[in-house]
Structure 1
Amino acid sequence: MNEVWKKPPIPLDDYLKLVGHEVGVSSWHLIDQKRIDVYADVIEDHQFIHVDPERAKRETAFGTTVAHGFLTMSLMSIMSYEVMPVIEGTTMGVNYGFDKLRFLSPVRAGSRVRGRFTLTEATLRKPTELLSRTNVSVEIEGETKPALVADWIGLIYFA
Protein backbone atom coordinates (compact mmCIF):
# COMPACT_ATOMS: atom_id res chain seq x y z
CA MET A 1 0.00 0.00 0.00
CA ASN A 2 1.25 3.49 -0.84
CA GLU A 3 2.48 5.39 2.24
CA VAL A 4 0.30 8.44 1.46
CA TRP A 5 -2.75 6.37 2.45
CA LYS A 6 -1.34 5.74 5.95
CA LYS A 7 -1.43 9.25 7.44
CA PRO A 8 -2.72 9.41 11.01
CA PRO A 9 -6.24 10.83 11.10
CA ILE A 10 -7.02 14.14 12.80
CA PRO A 11 -10.14 15.16 14.75
CA LEU A 12 -12.88 16.94 12.82
CA ASP A 13 -12.42 20.06 14.98
CA ASP A 14 -8.75 20.26 13.92
CA TYR A 15 -9.75 19.91 10.26
CA LEU A 16 -12.26 22.74 10.61
CA LYS A 17 -9.50 24.98 12.01
CA LEU A 18 -7.60 24.56 8.72
CA VAL A 19 -10.22 26.53 6.75
CA GLY A 20 -8.58 29.60 5.24
CA HIS A 21 -5.09 28.11 5.46
CA GLU A 22 -2.72 26.45 3.05
CA VAL A 23 -2.74 22.80 4.06
CA GLY A 24 0.29 21.70 2.10
CA VAL A 25 2.26 21.27 -1.08
CA SER A 26 2.65 17.88 -2.72
CA SER A 27 5.82 16.33 -4.03
CA TRP A 28 6.81 16.84 -7.66
CA HIS A 29 5.31 14.47 -10.24
CA LEU A 30 6.94 13.88 -13.61
CA ILE A 31 4.82 14.18 -16.72
CA ASP A 32 7.01 12.43 -19.27
CA GLN A 33 6.10 11.30 -22.77
CA LYS A 34 5.39 7.76 -21.59
CA ARG A 35 2.77 9.00 -19.13
CA ILE A 36 1.22 11.23 -21.81
CA ASP A 37 1.10 8.34 -24.30
CA VAL A 38 -0.52 5.97 -21.78
CA TYR A 39 -3.11 8.62 -20.94
CA ALA A 40 -3.78 9.25 -24.64
CA ASP A 41 -4.44 5.53 -25.09
CA VAL A 42 -6.80 5.40 -22.11
CA ILE A 43 -8.93 8.35 -23.24
CA GLU A 44 -8.46 7.76 -26.98
CA ASP A 45 -7.15 11.28 -27.62
CA HIS A 46 -4.11 11.01 -29.86
CA GLN A 47 -3.95 14.61 -31.06
CA PHE A 48 -0.43 15.25 -32.36
CA ILE A 49 0.30 17.99 -29.80
CA HIS A 50 0.28 15.23 -27.18
CA VAL A 51 1.80 12.19 -28.89
CA ASP A 52 4.02 13.28 -31.79
CA PRO A 53 7.15 15.04 -30.47
CA GLU A 54 8.62 15.80 -33.92
CA ARG A 55 5.44 17.29 -35.34
CA ALA A 56 4.74 19.21 -32.11
CA LYS A 57 8.25 20.65 -32.31
CA ARG A 58 7.72 21.74 -35.92
CA GLU A 59 4.14 22.93 -35.79
CA THR A 60 3.47 24.34 -32.33
CA ALA A 61 4.75 27.17 -30.18
CA PHE A 62 5.32 24.68 -27.36
CA GLY A 63 8.50 23.25 -28.90
CA THR A 64 7.51 19.74 -27.84
CA THR A 65 4.46 17.72 -26.87
CA VAL A 66 2.23 18.84 -24.03
CA ALA A 67 0.17 16.90 -21.52
CA HIS A 68 -3.58 16.72 -21.85
CA GLY A 69 -5.13 19.21 -19.44
CA PHE A 70 -7.22 16.44 -17.94
CA LEU A 71 -4.07 14.37 -17.33
CA THR A 72 -2.63 17.20 -15.26
CA MET A 73 -5.97 17.59 -13.49
CA SER A 74 -6.16 13.86 -12.74
CA LEU A 75 -2.86 13.99 -10.87
CA MET A 76 -4.56 16.22 -8.30
CA SER A 77 -5.89 13.02 -6.70
CA ILE A 78 -2.49 11.63 -5.73
CA MET A 79 -1.29 15.12 -4.83
CA SER A 80 -4.24 15.55 -2.46
CA TYR A 81 -3.58 12.19 -0.82
CA GLU A 82 -0.07 13.41 -0.08
CA VAL A 83 -1.13 16.59 1.72
CA MET A 84 -4.79 16.66 2.74
CA PRO A 85 -5.52 15.37 6.24
CA VAL A 86 -7.75 12.39 6.86
CA ILE A 87 -10.47 13.06 9.42
CA GLU A 88 -11.07 10.60 12.25
CA GLY A 89 -14.10 8.41 11.61
CA THR A 90 -14.11 8.92 7.85
CA THR A 91 -15.73 6.02 6.01
CA MET A 92 -15.19 7.44 2.52
CA GLY A 93 -14.58 10.58 0.54
CA VAL A 94 -15.97 11.28 -2.91
CA ASN A 95 -15.20 13.78 -5.62
CA TYR A 96 -18.15 16.17 -5.86
CA GLY A 97 -16.75 18.22 -8.74
CA PHE A 98 -15.48 21.69 -9.42
CA ASP A 99 -16.98 25.15 -9.21
CA LYS A 100 -14.03 26.49 -11.18
CA LEU A 101 -11.28 24.85 -13.20
CA ARG A 102 -8.98 26.73 -15.54
CA PHE A 103 -6.04 25.45 -17.56
CA LEU A 104 -3.59 28.36 -17.56
CA SER A 105 -0.30 27.01 -18.93
CA PRO A 106 0.67 24.00 -21.05
CA VAL A 107 2.66 21.28 -19.33
CA ARG A 108 5.47 20.28 -21.67
CA ALA A 109 6.60 16.66 -21.79
CA GLY A 110 9.39 16.13 -19.29
CA SER A 111 8.05 18.73 -16.84
CA ARG A 112 7.31 18.14 -13.20
CA VAL A 113 4.18 19.42 -11.47
CA ARG A 114 3.04 19.70 -7.87
CA GLY A 115 -0.16 20.74 -6.13
CA ARG A 116 -0.61 23.54 -3.62
CA PHE A 117 -3.75 23.04 -1.48
CA THR A 118 -5.69 25.62 0.55
CA LEU A 119 -8.80 24.53 2.42
CA THR A 120 -11.44 27.21 1.79
CA GLU A 121 -14.58 25.62 3.22
CA ALA A 122 -15.61 22.73 5.46
CA THR A 123 -19.33 22.59 6.17
CA LEU A 124 -21.28 19.82 7.86
CA ARG A 125 -24.32 19.22 5.66
CA LYS A 126 -25.54 16.37 7.85
CA PRO A 127 -24.03 14.86 11.02
CA THR A 128 -22.34 12.25 8.82
CA GLU A 129 -21.52 14.36 5.73
CA LEU A 130 -18.96 17.16 5.34
CA LEU A 131 -18.66 19.32 2.23
CA SER A 132 -15.01 20.27 1.79
CA ARG A 133 -13.86 22.90 -0.72
CA THR A 134 -10.19 23.22 -1.60
CA ASN A 135 -8.42 25.73 -3.80
CA VAL A 136 -5.74 23.94 -5.77
CA SER A 137 -2.96 25.40 -7.87
CA VAL A 138 -0.91 22.92 -9.90
CA GLU A 139 2.52 24.45 -10.36
CA ILE A 140 5.03 23.62 -13.10
CA GLU A 141 8.62 23.41 -11.94
CA GLY A 142 10.60 26.42 -13.17
CA GLU A 143 7.51 28.30 -14.44
CA THR A 144 5.86 31.32 -12.86
CA LYS A 145 2.32 30.63 -14.12
CA PRO A 146 0.54 27.48 -12.88
CA ALA A 147 -0.69 24.73 -15.16
CA LEU A 148 -4.15 25.00 -13.65
CA VAL A 149 -6.17 26.42 -10.81
CA ALA A 150 -9.26 24.73 -9.42
CA ASP A 151 -11.96 25.14 -6.82
CA TRP A 152 -12.40 21.46 -5.95
CA ILE A 153 -15.28 20.11 -3.91
CA GLY A 154 -15.38 16.84 -2.03
CA LEU A 155 -17.83 15.10 0.24
CA ILE A 156 -16.50 13.30 3.28
CA TYR A 157 -18.70 10.72 5.01
CA PHE A 158 -18.52 9.53 8.63
CA ALA A 159 -19.82 6.42 10.37
Structure 2
Amino acid sequence: MVIINNFEEYKTYEGSQLGVSNWHKIDQEQINRFADATLDHQWIHVDQERAASEGPFKTTIAHGYLTLSLIPHLWKQIADIRNVKMEINYGIENLRFGQPVLVDNEVQLQAKVKSITNLRGIVKATIEATLVIKEQTKPAYVGDVVFLYHFH
Protein backbone atom coordinates (compact mmCIF):
# COMPACT_ATOMS: atom_id res chain seq x y z
CA MET A 1 0.00 0.00 0.00
CA VAL A 2 1.18 3.48 -0.88
CA ILE A 3 0.95 6.18 1.80
CA ILE A 4 0.45 9.74 0.57
CA ASN A 5 0.52 12.64 3.04
CA ASN A 6 0.11 15.72 0.85
CA PHE A 7 -0.14 17.17 -2.66
CA GLU A 8 3.62 17.15 -3.22
CA GLU A 9 3.88 13.43 -2.43
CA TYR A 10 0.86 12.66 -4.61
CA LYS A 11 2.39 14.61 -7.50
CA THR A 12 5.48 12.34 -7.51
CA TYR A 13 3.25 9.42 -8.61
CA GLU A 14 1.81 11.24 -11.63
CA GLY A 15 2.07 9.01 -14.68
CA SER A 16 2.87 5.94 -12.57
CA GLN A 17 1.11 2.72 -11.76
CA LEU A 18 0.20 3.16 -8.09
CA GLY A 19 -0.66 -0.44 -7.27
CA VAL A 20 -3.24 -3.19 -7.20
CA SER A 21 -5.88 -4.25 -4.71
CA ASN A 22 -6.46 -7.68 -3.26
CA TRP A 23 -8.69 -10.06 -5.18
CA HIS A 24 -12.40 -9.76 -4.37
CA LYS A 25 -14.86 -12.56 -5.14
CA ILE A 26 -18.32 -11.44 -6.27
CA ASP A 27 -20.77 -14.13 -5.18
CA GLN A 28 -24.51 -14.49 -5.75
CA GLU A 29 -25.32 -13.18 -2.28
CA GLN A 30 -23.54 -9.89 -3.02
CA ILE A 31 -25.28 -9.65 -6.41
CA ASN A 32 -28.67 -10.24 -4.77
CA ARG A 33 -28.01 -7.63 -2.08
CA PHE A 34 -27.02 -5.12 -4.73
CA ALA A 35 -30.19 -5.92 -6.70
CA ASP A 36 -32.25 -5.27 -3.56
CA ALA A 37 -30.43 -2.01 -2.83
CA THR A 38 -30.82 -0.67 -6.36
CA LEU A 39 -34.19 -2.24 -7.23
CA ASP A 40 -32.55 -3.81 -10.29
CA HIS A 41 -33.73 -7.42 -10.29
CA GLN A 42 -33.12 -8.18 -13.96
CA TRP A 43 -33.07 -11.96 -14.38
CA ILE A 44 -29.55 -12.02 -15.84
CA HIS A 45 -28.35 -11.00 -12.36
CA VAL A 46 -30.64 -12.81 -9.92
CA ASP A 47 -32.34 -15.79 -11.59
CA GLN A 48 -29.69 -18.50 -11.56
CA GLU A 49 -31.87 -21.14 -13.26
CA ARG A 50 -32.99 -18.88 -16.09
CA ALA A 51 -29.48 -17.49 -16.56
CA ALA A 52 -28.15 -21.06 -16.82
CA SER A 53 -30.74 -22.09 -19.43
CA GLU A 54 -31.35 -18.87 -21.40
CA GLY A 55 -28.49 -16.53 -20.65
CA PRO A 56 -25.57 -15.98 -22.99
CA PHE A 57 -23.07 -16.69 -20.17
CA LYS A 58 -24.86 -19.76 -18.73
CA THR A 59 -24.70 -18.18 -15.28
CA THR A 60 -25.65 -14.93 -13.56
CA ILE A 61 -23.53 -11.82 -13.94
CA ALA A 62 -22.75 -8.95 -11.61
CA HIS A 63 -24.39 -5.61 -12.30
CA GLY A 64 -21.99 -3.23 -14.02
CA TYR A 65 -22.76 -0.66 -11.34
CA LEU A 66 -21.98 -3.22 -8.64
CA THR A 67 -18.48 -3.57 -10.07
CA LEU A 68 -18.14 0.22 -10.11
CA SER A 69 -19.36 0.49 -6.53
CA LEU A 70 -16.34 -1.58 -5.45
CA ILE A 71 -13.92 1.20 -6.41
CA PRO A 72 -13.84 2.94 -2.98
CA HIS A 73 -13.30 -0.36 -1.14
CA LEU A 74 -10.59 -1.59 -3.50
CA TRP A 75 -8.95 1.85 -3.80
CA LYS A 76 -8.42 1.94 -0.01
CA GLN A 77 -6.32 -1.24 -0.39
CA ILE A 78 -4.03 0.52 -2.87
CA ALA A 79 -3.56 4.00 -1.39
CA ASP A 80 -3.78 5.49 2.07
CA ILE A 81 -4.31 9.21 1.52
CA ARG A 82 -3.59 10.88 4.87
CA ASN A 83 -4.04 14.36 6.35
CA VAL A 84 -7.32 14.80 4.49
CA LYS A 85 -10.21 16.85 5.87
CA MET A 86 -12.52 15.59 3.16
CA GLU A 87 -12.39 13.26 0.15
CA ILE A 88 -15.01 13.55 -2.58
CA ASN A 89 -15.81 11.04 -5.31
CA TYR A 90 -16.05 13.66 -8.08
CA GLY A 91 -16.76 11.53 -11.12
CA ILE A 92 -15.83 8.85 -13.61
CA GLU A 93 -14.75 9.80 -17.10
CA ASN A 94 -14.22 7.76 -20.27
CA LEU A 95 -15.56 4.56 -18.72
CA ARG A 96 -15.95 1.52 -20.92
CA PHE A 97 -17.15 -1.90 -19.84
CA GLY A 98 -15.03 -4.58 -21.51
CA GLN A 99 -16.81 -7.73 -20.40
CA PRO A 100 -19.22 -8.90 -17.72
CA VAL A 101 -18.15 -10.25 -14.36
CA LEU A 102 -19.68 -13.70 -13.90
CA VAL A 103 -20.90 -14.86 -10.51
CA ASP A 104 -18.00 -16.16 -8.39
CA ASN A 105 -15.38 -14.38 -10.51
CA GLU A 106 -12.61 -12.65 -8.62
CA VAL A 107 -11.76 -9.07 -9.51
CA GLN A 108 -8.84 -6.77 -8.72
CA LEU A 109 -8.46 -3.02 -9.15
CA GLN A 110 -5.33 -1.67 -10.84
CA ALA A 111 -4.70 2.05 -10.37
CA LYS A 112 -2.52 4.44 -12.36
CA VAL A 113 -2.20 8.11 -11.45
CA LYS A 114 -3.01 9.99 -14.66
CA SER A 115 -2.90 13.52 -13.28
CA ILE A 116 -2.68 15.47 -10.03
CA THR A 117 -3.69 19.13 -9.99
CA ASN A 118 -3.77 21.65 -7.16
CA LEU A 119 -6.88 23.78 -7.66
CA ARG A 120 -6.30 26.56 -5.11
CA GLY A 121 -6.00 24.16 -2.19
CA ILE A 122 -8.21 21.37 -3.47
CA VAL A 123 -6.30 18.49 -5.03
CA LYS A 124 -7.89 16.86 -8.07
CA ALA A 125 -6.59 13.34 -8.68
CA THR A 126 -7.48 11.48 -11.87
CA ILE A 127 -6.84 7.76 -11.48
CA GLU A 128 -7.02 5.32 -14.37
CA ALA A 129 -8.97 2.45 -12.81
CA THR A 130 -8.89 -0.97 -14.46
CA LEU A 131 -10.96 -3.79 -12.99
CA VAL A 132 -9.21 -7.03 -13.90
CA ILE A 133 -11.04 -10.37 -13.82
CA LYS A 134 -8.89 -13.27 -12.63
CA GLU A 135 -7.81 -15.55 -15.49
CA GLN A 136 -9.30 -13.24 -18.15
CA THR A 137 -7.34 -11.15 -20.64
CA LYS A 138 -9.97 -8.45 -21.10
CA PRO A 139 -10.84 -6.23 -18.10
CA ALA A 140 -14.34 -5.71 -16.75
CA TYR A 141 -13.84 -1.98 -17.27
CA VAL A 142 -11.38 0.84 -17.67
CA GLY A 143 -12.16 4.42 -16.72
CA ASP A 144 -10.77 7.54 -15.12
CA VAL A 145 -11.93 7.98 -11.53
CA VAL A 146 -11.70 11.55 -10.26
CA PHE A 147 -11.23 12.30 -6.56
CA LEU A 148 -11.08 15.69 -4.85
CA TYR A 149 -9.01 15.94 -1.68
CA HIS A 150 -9.03 18.73 0.89
CA PHE A 151 -5.71 18.28 2.69
CA HIS A 152 -5.13 19.81 6.16
With normalisation by structure 1, the TM-score equals 0.91
The letter for the 1-side match of 2:91 is G
On the 8 A contact 1:56/1:65 being kept in 2, the answer is: yes
Q: How many residue pairs end up in the alignment?
A: 152
Matched, 1:118 2:109: no
With normalisation by structure 2, the TM-score equals 0.95
Alignment of 1:1-159 (within 5 A): 9-87=4-82, 89-126=83-120, 128-159=121-152
Long gaps (5+) in structure 1: none
On the 8 A contact 1:15/1:85 being kept in 2, the answer is: no
Superimposed CA distance per residue, residues 64-94 of structure 1 (whole angstroms, 9 cap, x where no aligned partner):
000000000110111111112414x311110
Identity of aligned residues (%): 36
On the 8 A contact 1:31/1:67 being kept in 2, the answer is: yes
The letter for the 2-side match of 1:94 is I
Rounded to whole Å, the distance in 2 between the matches of 1:9 and 1:41 is 36
The letter for the 2-side match of 1:98 is I
Long gaps (5+) in structure 2: none
For the aligned residue pairs, the C-alpha RMSD in angstroms reads: 1.5
Rounded to whole Å, the distance in 2 between the matches of 1:61 and 1:142 is 19
